[in-house]
């Protein structure tokens, strides 16, 4: 359907036309006509990059009273990046609507300046929950006349712990408002919000619920934990035109992986929560301009990034939440283009692949880590293709060619080509000439990895995974993210391989690379968490709701005191 066939006003159509848009996306075709015709609450389930902002933004702008200077459209988003992107989009859609003002309200920027902009009058406010809740508490914004409320990426806001903020914000809005909720997945909390704050909502689903994007190919490589980074380098080398995001679990791992890539000559940068807004903007500007090929990021830092034409999403670690895989992989394969999502896993994580397949309703195929010869072949042909398509400035280069012909006169055409290719290509040939097979089931696989089968294993010293039990559980409201940070902060434990994490009432159990287990335990036993001195030990058996040591090991083995 064409936008001009939907009944949008001339001013809005001018804004759309200036952006070069003509045809509506499927989610826009489903949502816009409904909202233009009647005031209905809507739950929209669609992947990132499907045009959700226009789906809710265009009809909402049609209902704005330009002569009124109070907030009428409130859009809540989980991150400042997404908040800023939505603001830019709405400003573009309404650029020909005289008197329309949009204000972005988010953390990490001056609240004083944001209050000043709100005082000057704004019909549209795009905000992160934490910052606008702060403004509500300070009585710096009046939401009592909001006519349209949009919750964008609602599942992510719930995962990030904004439930209380959302409740407080929505309580300040009128009961008769139009509520629009957009999400990539139908998380349990979404249904709860719908029941509490929405009036007989229409559910519009693009594709299957929680399903992955249609144009994305999903594969995984299975390697030893120690080979994870080498496997990542091979993936990048095997795809000469790569333009993608590498997802890591923690901000420390993000820094480490980006640093290793830059050290090894790759065009990469890190995006994580420790960066200032100016630093984040600088990194993202480089990435959008393609001055970076690879962005290494955490899930939280990458939320809301709007980058076109990504070729690859690489999961250096699988996300803690299986549904987060949908968000990650949905960043590629947009606008009808093809994309690839690659996960680098170890043998203990094979079960997670099946779980994720159930979530995205797609097969994730196992593929071998690219071999050295295959990488060299890819790089060679890519280089030749670039050379073949290079533009030649004859006027500038012709004056030098007679001397060049003299210098190369004793070489045949074939020899010239070989030497030119070798000049550019020797680095890859040298690096990969004795490259090992990194796949776990190859002839180079260690026997201790082959011994691992089943979801829960006993400790195998000197290889594989060990279980670490410690005395903090649900009673202290510890999260998987906090556990990962605790375990990876031990001296020398940067990038430690972490497997299954189980949180129980009084204890937690974590699988870690057995070679690092004692180092992590020693560090944990010097740590205090929320007033509790951590007591950690290796543990062998599972018993009910808590892990308890039933091993008949050395006398005097310290037992964990349940907290």
pLDDT band at 294 (very low <50, low <70, confident <90, very high): very high
- CATH code for 3-205? 3.40.50.300
| Residues above pLDDT 90, as percent of the chain | 29
Supply the pLDDT for residue 99: 92
Count other Cβ atoms within 10 Å, centred on residue 331.
24
Supply the pLDDT for residue 107: 86
Supply the pLDDT for residue 100: 93
**pLDDT at residue 448 greater than cutoff 70:** no
**pLDDT at residue 451 greater than cutoff 50:** no
Identify the DSSP state of 341: E
pLDDT tens per residue, range 60-79: 999 899 999 899 999 999 88
Nearest partner of 74 among 128, 6, 114, 23, judged by Cα: 128
Sheet with 294-297: list strands edge to edge: 268-271, 294-297, 244-247, 312-315, 339-345, 216-222, 365-366
- Mean pLDDT over residues 324-337, rounded? 80
Supply the pLDDT for residue 459: 33
pLDDT tens per residue, range 224-245: 888 889 999 999 999 988 999 9
Supply the pLDDT for residue 312: 94
Counting other chains too, the contacts that 318-324 makes at CB distance below 8 Å and 24 or more residues apart are 318/343, 318/345, 318/349, 318/352, 318/356, 319/247, 319/249, 320/249, 320/480, 320/481, 320/484, 320/501, 321/159, 322/352, 322/355, 322/356, 322/359, 323/155, 323/185, 323/187, 323/210, 323/359, 324/159, 324/299
Supply the pLDDT for residue 435: 75
Q: Between the CA of residue 207 and those of 151, 308, 332, what are the distances in Å?
A: 20, 21, 16
Residue 125 forms beta bridges with which residues?
A: 74, 103
Nearest partner of 179 among 30, 90, 76, 54, judged by Cα: 76
Supply the pLDDT for residue 528: 83
Tokens of 501: 């994490």
- Mean pLDDT over residues 324-352, rounded? 84
Pair 212, 361: CB distance under 8 Å: yes
Cα separation, 127 vs 120, whole angstroms: 17
Q: Which residue has the higher pLDDT, 467 or 155?
A: 467
Q: Is 419 helix (H, G, I), strand (E, B) or coil?
A: helix
Cα separation, 100 vs 528, whole angstroms: 52
Supply the pLDDT for residue 461: 34
**pLDDT at residue 397 greater than cutoff 90:** no
How deeply is 408 buried, as exposed, middle or buried, from its count of CB atoms within 10 A (0-12, 13-18, 19+)? Answer: middle
Cα separation, 504 vs 545, whole angstroms: 6
Query: Distance between terminal CA atoms of the chain?
Result: 61
**Positive or negative, the Cα torsion across 508, 511, 516, 518?**
positive
Nearest partner of 344 among 263, 249, 211, judged by Cα: 249
Q: Between the CA of residue 241 and those of 192, 235, 294, 312, 429, what are the distances in Å?
A: 44, 11, 11, 10, 19
Domains 216-371 and 447-547 share a fold: no
- CATH code for 216-371? 3.40.50.300
Q: What is the largest CA-CA distance in the chain?
A: 86
pLDDT tens per residue, range 125-177: 999 999 999 999 999 999 999 999 999 888 778 777 788 888 899 989 998 89
Cα separation, 538 vs 559, whole angstroms: 10
Nearest partner of 170 among 200, 150, 189, judged by Cα: 150
- CATH code for 447-547? 3.30.70.330
pLDDT tens per residue, range 499-513: 888 888 889 999 888
**DSSP for 193-259?**
HHHHH-SSPEEEESSSTTPPPTTEEEEEEEB-GGGHHHHHHHHHHH-TT--EEEE-SSHHHHHHHHH
Q: Which residue has the higher pLDDT, 259 or 307?
A: 259
Supply the pLDDT for residue 196: 80
pLDDT tens per residue, range 74-124: 999 988 878 888 999 999 999 999 999 999 999 878 899 999 999 999 999
| Residues above pLDDT 70, as percent of the chain | 86
Tokens of 475: 């009673």
- Enumerate the domain spans of the chain: 3-205, 216-371, 373-432, 447-547
pLDDT tens per residue, range 339-375: 999 999 988 788 889 888 888 888 899 999 988 888 8
**pLDDT at residue 544 greater than cutoff 60:** no
Tokens of 330: 């949905």
pLDDT tens per residue, range 546-561: 444 434 333 334 444 4
H helix count then E strand count, the chain: 21, 22
Cα separation, 272 vs 297, whole angstroms: 6
Q: Between the CA of residue 549 and those of 534, 537, 561, what are the distances in Å?
A: 16, 9, 11
């Amino acid at each position: 359907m064409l936008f001009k066939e939907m009944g949008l006003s001339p001013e809005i159509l001018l804004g759309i036309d200036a952006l070069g848009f003509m045809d509506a996306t499927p989610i826009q075709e489903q949502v816009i006509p409904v909202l233009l015709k009647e005031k209905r609450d809507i739950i929209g389930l669609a992947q990132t990059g499907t045009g959700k902002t226009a789906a809710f933004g265009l009809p909402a702008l049609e209902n704005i009273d330009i002569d009124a200077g109070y907030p009428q459209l409130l859009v809540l988003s989980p991150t400042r990046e997404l908040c800023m992107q939505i603001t830019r989009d709405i400003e573009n859609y309404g650029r020909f609507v005289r008197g329309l003002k949009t204000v972005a309200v988010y953390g990490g920027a001056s609240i004083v300046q944001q209050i000043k902009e709100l005082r000057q009058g704004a019909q549209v406010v795009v905000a992160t929950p934490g910052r606008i809740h702060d403004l509500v508490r300070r009585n710096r914004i009046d939401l009592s006349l909001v006519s349209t409320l949009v919750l964008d990426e609602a599942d992510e806001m719930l995962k990030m712990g904004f439930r209380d903020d959302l409740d407080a914000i929505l309580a300040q809005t009128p009961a008769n408002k139009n509520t629009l909720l957009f999400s990539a997945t139908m998380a349990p909390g979404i249904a709860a919000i719908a029941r509490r704050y929405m009036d007989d909502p229409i559910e519009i689903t693009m594709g299957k619920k929680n399903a992955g994007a249609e144009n994305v190919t999903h594969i995984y490589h299975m390697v030893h934990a120690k080979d994870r980074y080498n496997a990542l380098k091979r993936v990048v080398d095997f795809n000469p035109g790569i333009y993608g995001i590498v997802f890591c679990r923690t901000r420390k791992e993000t820094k480490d992986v980006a640093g290793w890539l830059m050290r090894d000559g790759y065009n990469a940068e890190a995006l994580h929560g420790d960066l200032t807004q100016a630093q984040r903007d600088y990194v993202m500007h480089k990435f959008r301009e393609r001055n970076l090929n690879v962005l290494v990021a955490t899930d939280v830092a990458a939320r809301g990034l709007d980058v076109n034409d990504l070729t690859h999403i690489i999961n250096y670690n699988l996300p803690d939440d299986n549904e987060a895989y949908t968000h990650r992989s949905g960043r590629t394969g947009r606008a009808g283009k093809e994309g690839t999502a690659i996960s680098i896993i170890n043998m203990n994580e094979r079960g997670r692949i099946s779980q994720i397949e159930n979530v995205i309703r797609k097969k994730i195929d196992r593929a071998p880590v690219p071999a050295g010869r295959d990488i060299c072949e890819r790089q060679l042909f890519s280089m030749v293709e670039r050379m073949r398509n290079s533009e030649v400035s004859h006027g500038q280069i012709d004056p030098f060619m007679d001397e060049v012909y003299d210098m190369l006169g004793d070489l045949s055409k074939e020899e010239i080509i070989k030497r030119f290719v070798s000049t550019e290509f020797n680095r890859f040939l040298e690096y990969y000439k004795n490259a090992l097979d990194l796949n776990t089931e190859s002839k180079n696989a260690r026997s201790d990895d082959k011994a691992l089968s089943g979801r829960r294993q006993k400790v195998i010293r000197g290889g594989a995974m060990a279980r670490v039990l410690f005395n903090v559980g649900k009673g202290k409201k510890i999260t998987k993210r906090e556990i990962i940070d605790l375990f990876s902060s031990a001296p020398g434990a940067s990038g430690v391989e972490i497997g299954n994490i189980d949180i129980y009432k009084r204890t937690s159990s974590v699988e870690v690379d057995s070679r690092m287990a004692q180092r992590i335990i020693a560090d944990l036993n010097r740590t205090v968490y929320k007033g509790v001195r951590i007591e950690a030990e290796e543990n062998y058996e599972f018993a009910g709701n808590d892990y308890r040591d039933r091993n008949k090991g050395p006398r005097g083995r310290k037992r964990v005191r349940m907290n």
